[in-house]
Each structure stands twice: as structure tokens, then as C-alpha cells.
Amino acid sequence: MTDVDTGGGDRLALAVLTQYRMATTEQLHRLIAPGVRSEQTRRRMAKLRNEGLVDRITLPRAGRLRVWFPTSYGAHIASEWPELRGRRPPKTVSDPTAARLRTGHTLTVTDTALAFVEDARRCGDLCRPLDWIPEVHHSLGAGEAVIPDALMYYQRGPADGGSMLRAFIEVDRATMGPERLAAKIGAYARLHRYTPTPVARRRTAFTQDLVEEEWRRRYPLFPRVLFVLDGTGPVGVTTRIRALHAAAQDPAADGFLRYVPVLVASLTDLRSDGPSAPVWHPVQDPGAAVTWSQSLL
């Protein structure tokens, strides 16, 4: 690799693609270079492909849609950069067939990220492409874990004085039953109260282990949980919201929902009105309409 623009667009394109796993040419262009002609993004991706850093597949739909993904070599290079250092290595696809089988869900997650990034630009907030981190692993012990589709960092207001918000994003494409989707509320409730088992060691009369919830090691406040629904019509969306509402009535989730906003919206509404609009419904009261960033309990 001798011709990567390490100070600008090439580096950002490879970093974003490595973090997001895959994206279409249009998604990449809107994420990393919305102020220039799309032809520049197409040339950039062709250049990175010639250097063996990325590859692509062409989907037989919508005008033969091109979908890009990092090669193992490209992901290895990008993972060593400071902006990606310390994050779990991405699950790179091994060949075009493997990439094709993952496009549906992955591209929908990327579409959801794009809705938030573009909305932040319009509102004067700060949510950069690399502030969207897919598949962050959170252990529950005994080999279990909560792995949201994405963790989002979002700063309201100016970069030098706005408030930082965090959200776990769950994107549902109606590929699982409503009950399985709703069970994720219970998983997040378990994560909220999970404390790791301390390592056994000798204690004295004056010392004792202070054990705190695992999530506090990463976040000053537990992130909001945002469910984004796609892949179904209005009736299907209503059915899934009702399932989430039913799960919210479980006494085991009561303490969690008392402190953490859990909201649901359709991706159709996010695309048409923007995530900052009051298109979100609290799972405890799905009849209400709120904004995700101002919803407090």
C-alpha cells in the first residue's frame, strides 16, 4: 500500500468501511463526502480496490447496486489506526458469496446510521461516521453477551459545549418473531444489573472488594435503547411495538425501564422525518410520540 491518502478521504473511506462492514457507493458517498460529486467517491473506491484494500459485489437489483466491503488486508491496515484502535476486530467476509448473504441486515444498519449522521448535520449536532460502532460486545457472564447492532455517540449542540448522548441501536427487519424481538428488552435489563464475579482473593478486616455493574466501566450513564423497525408494513410495525410494550410490563424489566429510555420507531419515519423528529414511541407507552434525544424518565 503506497498510494493511500493518509490525511484525507482514502483513510476515512477505508476506516468507515472497516467499521461498518459493508456499504453501497451511495451510502459511502453520503457518509464521507456529501459536499463533492459522487464520481469522486466512485473513483476513490476503485483506487482502494486496485490496491487490494476493499472489494465489491454487484446485486442484481436497483440498477445493479454495488456493495463494498474491506478485504482482510484492508481491515488489518485500518484496525491499527488510532481512530479504530482498541475496538474488536471486524468480522470480515471471506468472499463475494459470503458478502452477498449478509447484505440485507448490514446495509439496513448502515442506512440507519446514515439517517442519524445526516440529521445531526442538519440540526447542528455532532454525530460523525465513526461515532457509529457496530456490534459492540457486552458480556453477561457464562458465555452470554448482549451485542447491539450498533453503539452510537451523539453530541447535541456545538462540539465544544454540547451534551453527549449514547444509544444502543437494535435494527429489526422482521426476520424474527415479535416475541424474540421483545426478549431483547429482558437482555438489556440483565446487562443493566450485571456485575461480574470478583476474583477470589484474601480480604482483611479493613478492605473489601467493591463490585459495580459491568457497564459502568464504559459509560457514565447506561445508553438509551432504540429499536428501529423495517421490512414490514404498518400492521407489522404495530404488532412488533405491541410485543415490545408487553415485554415492558415484565416486573424483571421494571427497574431497568425506570432509569433507561427504551424507544421504538420505524425506519420509514426516520427516513422521511429524521431521527430528531417526534417519531419515537416509549415501549411503556407506545401511544406517545417523543424525540429520542430529549426523552427523559
Mean per-residue pLDDT, 221-226: 96
Q: What percent of the chain has pLDDT over 70?
A: 87
Listed range (102-106, 122-126, 215-219, 275-279) with the worst mean pLDDT: 102-106
Q: Which residue has the higher pLDDT, 16 or 201?
A: 16
Mean per-residue pLDDT, 240-260: 93
Does 2 have pLDDT greater than 70? Answer: no
Which three cell numbers, joined as nine digits, stand for 50?
486496485
pLDDT of residue 151: 97
Mean per-residue pLDDT, 139-168: 89
Cα 179 from chain centroid?
Answer: 22
pLDDT of residue 6: 43
Residue 199 pLDDT level (bands cut at 50, 70, 90): low
Residue 100 pLDDT level (bands cut at 50, 70, 90): confident
Residue 89 pLDDT level (bands cut at 50, 70, 90): low
pLDDT of residue 5: 46
Q: Which residue has the higher pLDDT, 129 or 207?
A: 129
Residue 198 contacts residue 209 (beta carbons within 8 Å): yes
Which three cell numbers, joined as nine digits, stand for 183?
426478549
* CA 220 – CA 235 distance, rounded (Å): 38
The pTM for the full model equals: 0.90
